[in-house]
Structure 1
Amino acid sequence: MPTILRLDGYRFYFYSHEPNEPPHVHVDKGGASIKVWLDPISLARNTGFRRQEINGIMTMVEAHRARLLEAWHEYFG
């Protein structure tokens, strides 16, 4: 599980066994988890985050999208 970014207590990462899915990132904090597609940015799945937190996470993903996509493509080729 390569960690790409840590920001404000959130951990942004992807699983190394998901190369057949479109680029995405998982974000965890305090037992909650969310999966966000990167192209285009959209919510794939949420477990435990409130709507306000989801909006903040989506904003962070958008702000760091280039870095997240670069890490995805660098890892999976």
Structure 2
Amino acid sequence: MPTVFRHDGFRFFFYSNEGNPREPIHIHVMGEQGEAKFWLRPEVSVAESVGLDARTLRRLAGVVGNQRELIERAWHDHFA
């Protein structure tokens, strides 16, 4: 599970086995309160979440949006 980056106590990462066929580019986020999965395209959106409130999800979606290029590069590097 490669970690792409950390922010405010949350770890942003991929699972090495992202399905077969592989799902579109997304990022998993885990913190003490819970975890979530975000799609990156066509726009950043929550795919699923457990234990995180709406305010936290909005904040994390903003972080994902701001780091979208980094996440996409890391995805392509890891799964190439």
* Alignment TM-score, normalising by the size of structure 2: 0.91
Query: SS state of the match for residue 5, structure 1?
Result: strand
2:23 alignment partner, one of 14, 21, 24? 21
Displaced runs of 4 or more, over 3 A? none
- CA-atom RMSD in angstroms: 1.0
Name 2:75's counterpart in structure 1: 72
Once the two structures are aligned, what percentage of the paired residues are identical?
A: 39
Amino acid at match of 2:51: G
1:31 shift after superposition: 4.3
Q: Distance in 2 between matches of 1:53 and 1:31?
A: 10
CA deviation vs aligned residue, 1:17-56 (integer Å, no higher than 9, x gap): 0151100000001040000011121110010100000000
* Alignment TM-score, normalising by the size of structure 1: 0.95
Query: SS state of the match for residue 22, structure 1?
Result: coil
Unaligned runs of 5+ in 1: none
Bigger strand fraction:
1
Unaligned runs of 5+ in 2: none
